[in-house]
């Protein structure tokens, strides 16, 4: 199938952005074109231009590489290494890092820039994720930093370089500067580009930050620090009571009330469970929908984009961002069968993470009106995540993705879309990309990172479990979280926050009690959905007597639901139960999430009940039932 790129431009709105752990200020932008048919369906690459919406935001941070990706130790400064280099050598180093010679010279002027031991690159290239491109079952040993690198990525010298060496704070030496901004305030919110004075030095905010003292949290871009020291002040600073930046939070009128979601977004109680099982290989990879017709849309764009007029363009002084289509091989003009299957599998995983929500996770290019929110009374809107190897953010960004925070339901939300998932950061395989896409879309729905009070920005999980808003690359069970693990620094209720930003839960399709049970009927199986930790689904059935068996299975790929299955008699007493222990098979697969129960019954009416459960201690090594939600299929035999 040929690839075709579309044009993505935007409207106006203000907010801040979040990149794999980094956030930036957002300001008004331009307008954007109408949307067309899915890019993948076009006859030739770059033959047509179609629009794509952009979201609004609130800040957080630039999202990280898989835990196994560790920058190589750096030895020498770039300036000293390139001293005396001829034009040919300068051109070689610039080409290897996918930048211009002029940009290389600018970076070389900074003595803090580093190269690796063999003088090949001025930024060390992190190792690729331990997953073979296209193999959703590739194993990653938790905590193993020495992982295999896929051959097709290990030799890619054009990959976006990242800052080498230690992530310890490193101040940038600079001449005295004029300080005409306010003293840093622990209660103020700063976004990328803002400045503040601290102890006689001027500091530049690299992204969104609040309460992080520049004296402690400073370093050059690429070290993961929110502040960069610009030098010692040569003038007196203004009073410390200055008003903090106002560009971080959009005006109250741009966001509808969040206490009561619009009632029109909740479907009737007869809502059909979402279609999130992995589609067969014959299914059109660019026409996948988890809940067609929903008022919310999460569009996963694999076909490339030309982005203009958005805050991304403004913030990075890049009038046009050309993002290549998703590609595993070197052929970017068409999609191979393996790439198309990857797209199907990635979609299925992301759709499962959002199965509890009334949102259509799709790979088909939506119309502009489906994504754009034009007023507070407009209840049809959404967001886009572009999957590409194009990283415009920074040559020193080792991030897996970028997104604005809390902007999906803002009026004129297109200004801060799309969110980004970078294959140069996390590879082209199914597992890592699905985790990044779900994470970045989570930012659009208002979620912050899940870290620890010990200073870990992204909690990597424990046992077989990890939070989606941490780093979930190496754990097969990934959930939305409320910070129940030990040392959590973020106890926000993910479901409540997403609900306040337009992510409304679907209506319950089966009752929670025997009196409200839904008839199992004559079919051999039924499909359903657990939407909250308090939701249980009960089905009634009859038997003429004898042995009865029910099997319950969660989603086929990356299930969020850990199932407990019960059979109850007419009085509601449990007569048989099953709740197998879950375990990690590899980074992508867990066992024990399904359940099967058998009972010998007398003739009569009985009930089968399904519940989402946790395992062990959520504080250490296990997980609660908080995020144990998702789709299921119950089969009678």
Residue identified by tokens 């803090």 is 112
Distance set, CA 266 to CA 41, 261, 499, 512 (Å)? 32, 9, 11, 19
b/e map of 168-207 (b: 16 or more CB within 10 Å)? ebbbbeeeebebebbbbbeebbbbbebbbbbeebbbbbbb
Q: Are 133 and 153 in contact (CB under 8 A)?
A: yes
DSSP 410-465: STTGGGG--EEEEHHHH-SSHHHHHHHHHHHHHHHTT-----BTTS-SS---BTTE
Q: How far apart are CA 479 and CA 196, in angstroms?
A: 37
pLDDT at 315: 84
Distance set, CA 79 to CA 113, 119, 221, 230, 374 (Å)? 7, 12, 17, 19, 50
Instruction: Enumerate the β-bridge partners of residue 519.
Output: 540
- Domain boundaries along the sequence of the chain: 6-65+253-257+265-448+492-500, 76-151, 514-636
Q: How far apart are CA 486 and CA 526, in angstroms?
A: 38
Cβ neighbours of 572 (radius 10 Å):
12
Q: Please give the structure tokens belonging to residue 356.
A: 């509890």
- HSE of 117 in the Cβ direction (CA atoms, 13 Å)? 3
Q: How far apart are CA 190 and CA 173, in angstroms?
A: 22
pTM here is 0.65
Burial class (CB in 10 A: 0-12, 13-18, 19+), 109: exposed
Walking along the chain (637 residues) 10 residues at a time, the average pLDDT comes out as: 62 35 29 30 29 34 44 33 60 59 61 32 28 30 24 30 30 56 85 82 77 81 67 58 29 27 29 52 89 98 93 87 93 93 98 98 97 97 96 66 93 92 92 97 97 94 97 97 97 97 94 96 93 97 97 97 98 98 97 98 98 96 98 97
CA angle in degrees (0–180, nearest 5) for 75-78-84? 120
Q: Please give the structure tokens belonging to residue 544.
A: 């003429």
pLDDT at 494: 98
Q: How far apart are CA 68 and CA 138, in angstroms?
A: 14
- We find that the CATH architecture of domain 514-636 is Sandwich (2.60)
Select from 435, 388, 383 the least CA-distant residue to 405.
383
pLDDT at 211: 80
Distance set, CA 93 to CA 81, 86, 87, 88, 102 (Å)? 11, 11, 10, 9, 12
Q: Are 20 and 399 in contact (CB under 8 A)?
A: yes
Phi first, then psi: what are they for 425, rounded to 5°? -90, -40
Q: Are 338 and 43 in contact (CB under 8 A)?
A: no
Per DSSP, 111 falls in state: T
pLDDT at 191: 63
Q: How far apart are CA 547 and CA 569, in angstroms?
A: 14
Q: How far apart are CA 175 and CA 515, in angstroms?
A: 76
Stated length of the chain: 637
């Amino acid at each position: 199938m040929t690839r075709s790129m579309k044009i993505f431009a935007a409207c106006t709105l203000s907010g801040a952005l979040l990149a794999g752990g980094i956030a930036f200020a957002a300001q008004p932008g331009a307008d954007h074109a109408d949307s067309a048919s899915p890019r993948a369906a076009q006859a030739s690459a770059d033959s047509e231009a179609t629009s794509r919406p952009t979201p609004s935001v609130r800040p957080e941070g630039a999202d990280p590489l898989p835990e196994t990706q560790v920058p190589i130790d750096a030895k020498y400064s770039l300036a000293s290494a390139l001293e005396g280099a001829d034009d040919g050598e300068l051109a070689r180093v610039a080409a290897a890092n996918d930048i211009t010679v002029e940009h290389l010279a600018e970076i070389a002027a900074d003595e803090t820039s580093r190269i690796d031991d063999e003088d090949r690159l001025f930024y060390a290239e992190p190792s690729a994720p331990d997953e073979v491109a296209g193999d959703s079952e590739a194993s990653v040993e938790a905590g193993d930093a020495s992982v295999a690198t896929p051959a097709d990525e290990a030799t890619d010298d054009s990959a976006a370089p990242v800052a080498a060496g230690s992530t310890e704070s490193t101040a940038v030496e600079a001449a005295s500067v004029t300080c005409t901004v306010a003293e840093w305030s622990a209660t103020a919110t700063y976004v990328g580009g803002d400045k503040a004075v601290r102890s006689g030095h001027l500091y530049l905010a690299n992204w969104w930050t609040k309460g992080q003292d520049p004296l402690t949290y400073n370093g050059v871009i690429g070290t993961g620090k929110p502040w960069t020291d610009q030098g010692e002040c040569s003038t007196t600073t203004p009073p410390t009571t200055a008003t903090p930046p106002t560009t971080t939070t959009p005006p109250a009128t741009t966001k509808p009330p969040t206490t009561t979601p619009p009632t029109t977004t909740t479907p009737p109680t007869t809502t059909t469970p979402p279609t999130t099982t992995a589609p067969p290989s014959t299914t059109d990879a660019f026409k996948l929908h988890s809940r067609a017709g929903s008022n919310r849309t999460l569009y996963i764009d694999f076909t490339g984009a030309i982005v203009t007029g958005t805050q991304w363009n403004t913030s990075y002084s890049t009038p046009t961002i050309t993002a290549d289509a998703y590609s595993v091989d070197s052929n970017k003009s068409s999609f191979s069968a393996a790439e198309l299957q990857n797209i199907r599998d990635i979609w299925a995983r992301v759709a499962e993470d959002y199965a509890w929500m009334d949102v259509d996770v799709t790979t088909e290019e939506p119309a502009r009106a489906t994504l754009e929110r034009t007023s507070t009374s407009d209840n049809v809107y959404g967001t886009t995540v572009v999957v590409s190897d194009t990283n415009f953010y920074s040559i020193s960004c080792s991030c897996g993705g970028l997104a604005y925070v809390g902007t999906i339901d803002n009026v004129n939300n297109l200004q801060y879309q799309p969110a980004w998932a970078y294959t140069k950061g996390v590879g082209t395989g199914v597992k890592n990309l699905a985790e990044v896409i779900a994470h970045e879309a989570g930012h659009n729905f208002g979620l912050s990172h899940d870290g620890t009070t010990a200073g870990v920005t992204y909690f990597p999980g424990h046992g077989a479990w990890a939070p989606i808003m941490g780093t979930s690359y190496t754990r097969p069970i990934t959930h939305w979280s409320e910070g129940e693990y030990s040392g959590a620094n973020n106890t926000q209720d993910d479901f409540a926050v997403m609900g306040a930003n337009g992510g409304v839960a679907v209506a319950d399709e089966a009752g929670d009690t025997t009196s409200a049970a839904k008839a199992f009927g004559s079919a051999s199986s039924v499909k359903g959905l657990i939407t909250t930790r308090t939701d249980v689904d009960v089905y009634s059935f009859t038997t003429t007597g004898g042995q009865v068996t029910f099997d319950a299975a969660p989603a086929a790929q990356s299930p969020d639901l850990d199932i407990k299955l019960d059979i109850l008699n007419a009085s509601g007493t449990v007569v048989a139960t099953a709740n197998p222990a879950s375990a990690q098979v590899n980074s992508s697969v867990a066992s024990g999430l399904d359940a099967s129960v058998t009972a010998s019954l007398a003739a009569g009416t009985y009930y089968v009940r399904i519940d989402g459960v946790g395992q062990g201690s959520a504080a250490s090594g296990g997980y609660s039932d908080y995020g144990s939600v998702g789709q299921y299929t119950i089969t009678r035999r």
